[in-house]
Amino acid sequence: MRRNVYIYMVVKRKIVVFITRKKYVIIWNDDSPEVSEKIINQIKQKKPGNFSYKIIKTPETILYYPASPREVQAIIIIVTDVTKLDENQQKRTDIEDKLIRYASAGGTLVGTHDIIYRRCRNEKLQKAFGCTLKKFKSAPEGIEVKLNPEYRGHPLLRGLKDSFRVRDNEIVTGMWDNNVHKLIITSTQVQFEDTKLEVPILCVNSATCDGLFIWISCGDKGDEVCDSVKLPDTYFIQMLYNSIRYSKKIKRYNSTEDS
């Protein structure tokens, strides 16, 4: 019965896109719908295109949408607090498979912060984004970052200052795959318990499929969600806007760089 409902809703939404000529931008965060609403309102002001924005209350809702970039322009998953996509392992696997199938078909998947943290157990997404986050450090004063000079002309960096402070509460990192493009990095190396590292803040991986896996560090939650996401801050919105607006240019740029 549930499978029939999935199929019905997917087909229905395909028809809606065909009639309205408006693709979906889907967003979920693990704090509140109000946070997603603020983010969408800010993105809309920048006019990335004529899209239908959908705030979903649970990641499982993604299963009810088409897994094709013909109907879905971008999916944004904001994970701030070691929140699993679902407590049920099978459902979590189904959601991961749908997200990866979407990106593999040429879609743009944006994930933040803990989506690839080891305790969230999104092993398939960790592989797709190119990292399992294992190290973390408190950053109550924010994080000073800079654009990686190797990627000055990258479409995902349009409209961003050469350096700025990310108003997050935590730095997270892990061992990134070599084919991941690290577009924004910390201005200085960060001291963890056992090592000192230059930490990526914005990464994109397109080497494993036709679409984009874009990871943004912003998103930590202590007593409340960090300012970068809660307000939201202009640089966070610019990254999301660029992901939506320039997805084709980002793919072409990455293809050129990887060849």
pLDDT tens column, 170-220: 999 999 999 999 999 999 999 988 889 999 999 999 877 889 999 999 999
Q: What is the four-CA torsion angle of 189, 109, 245, 247, rounded to 10 degrees? A: 90
CATH, residue 137: 3.40.50.880
Residue 256: pLDDT over 70: no
Cis peptide before 232 (omega within 30 of 0): yes
Distance CA 83, CA 9 (A): 26
Whole-number pLDDT of residue 185 = 98
Whole-number pLDDT of residue 222 = 87
Q: Which two tokens stand for residue 164?
A: 């700025």
Q: Is the pTM of this model over 0.85?
A: yes
Closest by Cα among 79, 115, 228 to 167: 228
3-class DSSP assignment, residue 137: strand
128-184 per-position pLDDT tens digit: 999 999 999 999 999 999 999 999 899 999 999 999 999 999 999 999 999 999 999
Mention every residue, 6+ apart, whose C-beta is less than 8 A from residue 150.
none
Residue 259: pLDDT over 60: no
Number of structural domains found in the chain: 1
Residue 5: pLDDT over 80: yes
Which residues constitute the domain of residue 212?
2-258
Residues constituting the chain? 259
Mean pLDDT of 21-33: 98
Reported as a pLDDT band with limits 50, 70 and 90, residue 258 is low
